[in-house]
Structure 1
């Protein structure tokens, strides 16, 4: 939490230090769009003509409604009204209007976010009227050097894979063949021991020396495999007989034995990818065996080979296993780290140049890491994936409105 706060204030402080006047300079001229009409919409006036333009969204998808008057008298026909919206990134939406009895209705849905440069064109009695202004919401501008210092990073939206997973639990074990019990070849007196409990040894390393009772010659007892000394049963001066002197265990590979209950069994198969997590350490593996756990147990054991060449895992640790039971290719996905809540939406923040803006999303399937996008984003859009909460905080502190 302290790290997030520190990054936020770094963003804010650096922004003010480098661009103390930029925020004021970049505010659009709203003089043409400040007045409000009797219906609560934006009132545009020129000479004796007035257009009130409203985005209406009560009980219907957002739509444009307009009221046109000359000298205060409604215009109900013989005119041409068009609204053109230019969004961040260059997308343009155009609306033509038809009279509905009480108002003029635009021919389409005004999709979110309602952030665009607006151009209104009216032709009435052979005369043209135009109005232009900026109506931005959920948008902020951040210089590249500030974004870099704050750790803001983007990626490109595109197709991806959604994995449906089944979570199971179990523990780490060793395969019996991974432990070698080392005995003396000939009975005799142990004259020297060079390996201690816990030592890592390589195949051929000398573990001890024994003086043979028959030849009275010393011979070396060597490690038959690479591994760790997990048992030592002899010391110098003792007599080596038939009992094991050492146990050497190869810990470079462990096995996760995951419990699969009857209701899960039909979704689990040999060869499935599994992410095994133990003590905060993640490993990737595949299901190698499906074995009955025993006559009195209701579950099957899914055995997964787990790489442990770094030695961070030990037998006996409890583990969780996420088995990939279904993989679906989808045309558009986003990284879950990018997702933020904004008003009543789940959004990402797209980047175009130095500008960042919300994109409300309709989401589909998710695997906890990636989520399918059904609408709200286009393939190729760059969106913020690292530290997206900083963009949200910057927009919210600027008091982004949803005012039409």
Structure 2
């Protein structure tokens, strides 16, 4: 009985010992009576540290169920890589019909060269593929009658497309060379009877081919010269950059009507992420993914039914670079 009484007295006298505190007043979890652990950090500091660690190296919250929705790009870098923006506007969407076209030389942009007087070719100053200007010397001929030599000059600017004689040969009455100028070409579109009443001179046409696009107007409508009941629409092509060649086959979208829409963006701006059509809205140096619902579309613009507001700044050029950055960040986010 005396031993039990003594034990109770010891427990009452030393309460901390009964609950597992060490001689410095720390409990068995390493916290003292003020809530500090044995390294001097309190419980609030642990909470902040844990929250900081919940962000990945890109600053995205690892527990964000929606995934990565934006990236930040320095303004100088954006300019250097060609990320350009435009405003969401109202405007006109073209209603088009499709046709196919063949590229031909313009009628006045080719010339056959022949000799004025029959004779022998004494000199050739050009060869196949050479570029010449109007008045350039292309050959020297010695006349059979007078035995006098004279020079043949290029009648137009162009390229030597064909050469039919060599030095020492007699010119006779044959063509010596063919010069063509490809600076101006014609696209000839076949318009079938079901679309004939929709197509008119002056309508805009967008031509596609050779990874190139060209926009021009219908200059002429001509009936077919063969037995087929088609009409030929001709579009003049300024080809000084050499993007097309005679004989090229192109697709053509002919604008036959217009639709006014309250909101539209350029087609290049639209990307597909996780089966959603999106554009990227610019806010300072932040580019935010914005899902959108689309409507009518033509070769240049697409109507936006929902998801954007008039005047918002969106990435109009090189939007695929933003898409790639977001997808890269999302992949790191999930790991």
Name the TM-score, length of structure 2 as normaliser.
0.70
1:248 corresponds to which of 175, 179, 187: 179
Contact 1:335 1:370 in 2 (8 A): yes
Cα shift at 1:369: 3.4
* Partner Cα separation in structure 2 for residue 226 and residue 150 of structure 1: 39
* Partner Cα separation in structure 1 for residue 94 and residue 136 of structure 2: 46
* Partner Cα separation in structure 2 for residue 349 and residue 208 of structure 1: 61
Question: Any gaps of 5 or more consecutive residues in structure 1?
Answer: 1-18, 31-114, 116-134
2:270 corresponds to which of 315, 327, 339: 339
User: Does structure 1 residue 389 correspond to structure 2 residue 327?
Assistant: no
1:367 corresponds to which of 290, 293, 298: 298
1:144 corresponds to: 74
Cα shift at 1:169: 0.9
User: Does structure 1 residue 313 correspond to structure 2 residue 247?
Assistant: no
> Relative contact order: is structure 1 or structure 2 higher (C-alpha 8 Å, sep ≥ 6)?
2
Cα shift at 1:195: 2.2
Contact 1:168 1:321 in 2 (8 A): yes
* Residues 173 and 353 (structure 1), Cα distance of their counterparts in 2 relative to 1, 3 Å cut: closer
1:265 is paired with a residue whose SS is: helix
1:284 corresponds to which of 211, 215, 227: 215
2:198 corresponds to which of 267, 271, 281: 267
1:241 is paired with a residue whose SS is: coil
Cα shift at 1:139: 4.1
Which structure has more helix as a fraction of its residues? 2
* Partner Cα separation in structure 1 for residue 294 and residue 277 of structure 2: 8
1:23 corresponds to which of 44, 59, 62: 59
User: Does structure 1 residue 198 correspond to structure 2 residue 129?
Assistant: yes
Contact 2:71 2:326 in 1 (8 A): no
Name the TM-score, length of structure 1 as normaliser.
0.59
1:6 corresponds to: none
1:173 corresponds to: 104
Q: Deviations over 1:128-184 (max 9, x none)?
A: xxxxxxx99874452526973886554322233322222211311224433222221
* Partner Cα separation in structure 2 for residue 245 and residue 159 of structure 1: 58
1:263 is paired with a residue whose SS is: helix
Cα shift at 1:278: 2.8
* Partner Cα separation in structure 1 for residue 218 and residue 191 of structure 2: 12
**CA RMSD, Structure 1 to Structure 2 (Å):** 3.4
* Residues 338 and 394 (structure 1), Cα distance of their counterparts in 2 relative to 1, 3 Å cut: farther
Contact 1:162 1:330 in 2 (8 A): yes
Cα shift at 1:272: 1.5
Larger Rg: 2
Q: Deviations over 1:103-146 (max 9, x none)?
A: xxxxxxxxxxxx9xxxxxxxxxxxxxxxxxxx998744525269
- How many residue pairs get aligned? The number is 275
Question: Any gaps of 5 or more consecutive residues in structure 2?
Answer: 1-54
Contact 2:56 2:333 in 1 (8 A): no
Cα shift at 1:260: 0.9
* Partner Cα separation in structure 2 for residue 155 and residue 252 of structure 1: 33
Contact 1:260 1:299 in 2 (8 A): yes
1:264 is paired with a residue whose SS is: helix
* Residues 380 and 183 (structure 1), Cα distance of their counterparts in 2 relative to 1, 3 Å cut: same
Which structure has more strand as a fraction of its residues? 1
1:226 corresponds to: 157
Contact 1:356 1:391 in 2 (8 A): no
* Partner Cα separation in structure 2 for residue 294 and residue 258 of structure 1: 14
Cα shift at 1:225: 1.0
* Partner Cα separation in structure 2 for residue 172 and residue 144 of structure 1: 45
Cα shift at 1:344: 7.2
Contact 1:349 1:391 in 2 (8 A): no
* Residues 373 and 221 (structure 1), Cα distance of their counterparts in 2 relative to 1, 3 Å cut: same
* Partner Cα separation in structure 2 for residue 21 and residue 316 of structure 1: 55
Q: Deviations over 1:341-389 (max 9, x none)?
A: 4667533332323444443333321114321123321122122342342
Cα shift at 1:198: 2.2
1:240 is paired with a residue whose SS is: coil
